[in-house]
């Protein structure tokens, strides 16, 4: 999820909010210093969850957090062959970010 409240995965994880990739990267120095197991949490039904995070509303480009998170997850092998689905929690204002999903660019290679 990319909600500033980082609560997209809350119900699946039975928790208040998951730490975001953006927050964790800031704590350790950069996203390159993170490991996949640092950002993924396993929830109900073995659903793997991650929150991208981003700047406070009105401070910066939220898209940067989403792009950074997706690139990190791809590079670290989060999108494995054993996944049945990948869901992105995007608001209506994220229609440009959702375009690759709608156009089929997200298919396994």
SS3 sequence, the chain?
CCCCCCCCCHHHHCCCCCCCHHHHHHHHCCHHHCCHHHHCEECHHHCEECCCCCCCCCCCCHHHHHHHHHHHHHHCCCCCCCCCCCCCCCCHHHHHHHHHHHCCCCCCC
**Structure-model confidence comparison of residues 82 and 28, the more confident one:** 28
**pLDDT at site 109:** 45
Q: Which residues contact 26 (CB under 8 A, 6 or more apart)?
A: none
Encode pLDDT of 21-79 as tens digits.
989 999 999 999 999 999 999 999 999 999 888 777 677 666 777 888 889 999 999 98
**pLDDT at site 72:** 92
pLDDT at 93 over 50: yes
**Structure-model confidence comparison of residues 84 and 94, the more confident one:** 84
């Amino acid at each position: 999820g990319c909600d500033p409240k980082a609560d997209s995965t809350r119900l699946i994880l039975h928790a208040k909010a998951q730490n975001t990739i953006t927050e964790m990267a800031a704590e350790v120095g950069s996203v390159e210093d993170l490991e996949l197991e640092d950002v993924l949490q396993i929830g109900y039904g073995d659903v793997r969850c991650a929150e991208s995070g981003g700047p406070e509303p009105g401070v910066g480009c939220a898209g940067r957090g989403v792009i950074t998170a997706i690139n990190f997850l791809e590079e670290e092998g989060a999108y494995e062959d054993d996944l049945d689905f990948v869901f992105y929690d995007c608001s209506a204002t994220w229609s440009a970010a959702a375009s690759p999903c709608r156009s089929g660019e997200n298919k396994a290679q």
